[in-house]
Amino acid sequence: MMSKKILPQSVLFLLLIPSFLLAKEEVPVPRNPVPATQSYYNEGMDYIEKDDFDKAIEFFRKAIRESPRVPQLYNALGYALLKKNGTVKSASKAFEKAIELDAHYADPYFNLGTYYAGPGQDPLLATEYFEKAIQTDPTYSKAEMGLGWVCLDKKDAKNALEHFEKAVELDPTLVEAEYGLGLTYVALKKNAQALKPITFLRQSNHYDLAQAIEGMIQQGEPLPPPPAGNAPAASGGSANPSLKPGQKPETGPPAASAATGKAPEGNAGSVFK
């Protein structure tokens, strides 16, 4: 059992990664469109759905070679890289390139926040990128959720509560935010209020998450969350590629779907606008 921290950083990362969104859109057509770009991108998305990340990376890179100025392609590539290996440095470079091409594109900020929330990374940078995602898109529920997990990991339950409540207000279907909200209520000794997220989690068939909160209430101390593979996927900001908030390791932002969109993870929005 965990003794002092509600959730270790590795668990925070697992909860965030499924939040990345892999959104399927039409490629924003440049002045001189390259028809192959959309085809390569679609192939990459198909391989993402099959969990064949090596093939997805191959096709996203082909799309980038054809259209190197499309930020959503780099976001999708970063998603695939992070899904393949949760801490691969090249994933962050892909997200940074997407931001370089479009500083008003919120998804890569969220995905970078998820990357830096990972084990052995930098929670301060994670906070910075989640905040930038919110500055770019104030309705970015997953970024609010990411800030909640970072605060909870630091045992700052008061601020965690603010962010989780905001995330749930923006997206009432965001499972990881409801889970975090329940944990935060227990940390603040507001057990009666934890019943609402517990009920939500049970009604949405996430029994392991509900039981983890109930176990904390019964034993008066934090329990480990359910196995990563059982953690539900979170929602993202705009319908663009974001990591699903880490699925390799299996579940836990982020993003991360390949593109963080506003749609919940699993929604096939488009990567390109």
148-172 confidence digits (pLDDT tens): 999 998 999 999 999 999 999 999 9
Identify which of 223, 238, 248 has the alpha carbon closest to the alpha carbon of residue 7. 223
Identify which of 238, 247, 268 has the alpha carbon closest to the alpha carbon of residue 105. 238
Task: Evaluate whether 70 touches 30 at the Cβ level (below 8 Å).
Answer: yes
Upstream peptide bond of 123 is cis (omega within 30 degrees of 0): no
Task: Evaluate whether 155 touches 161 at the Cβ level (below 8 Å).
Answer: no
pLDDT category at 267 given cuts 50, 70, 90 is very low
Backbone angles phi, psi at 134, to 5 degrees: -70, -40
What fold, for 9-230?
A: 1.25.40
Least confident of 39-43, 53-57, 220-224, 262-266: 262-266
pLDDT at 42 over 60: yes
pLDDT at 67 over 70: yes
Per-residue pLDDT reduced to its tens digit, 124-135: 999 999 999 999
Exposed, middle or buried by CB within 10 Å (0-12, 13-18, 19+), for 73? buried
pLDDT category at 34 given cuts 50, 70, 90 is low
pLDDT at 222 over 70: no
Q: Distance of alpha carbon 196 from its chain centroid, rounded?
A: 23
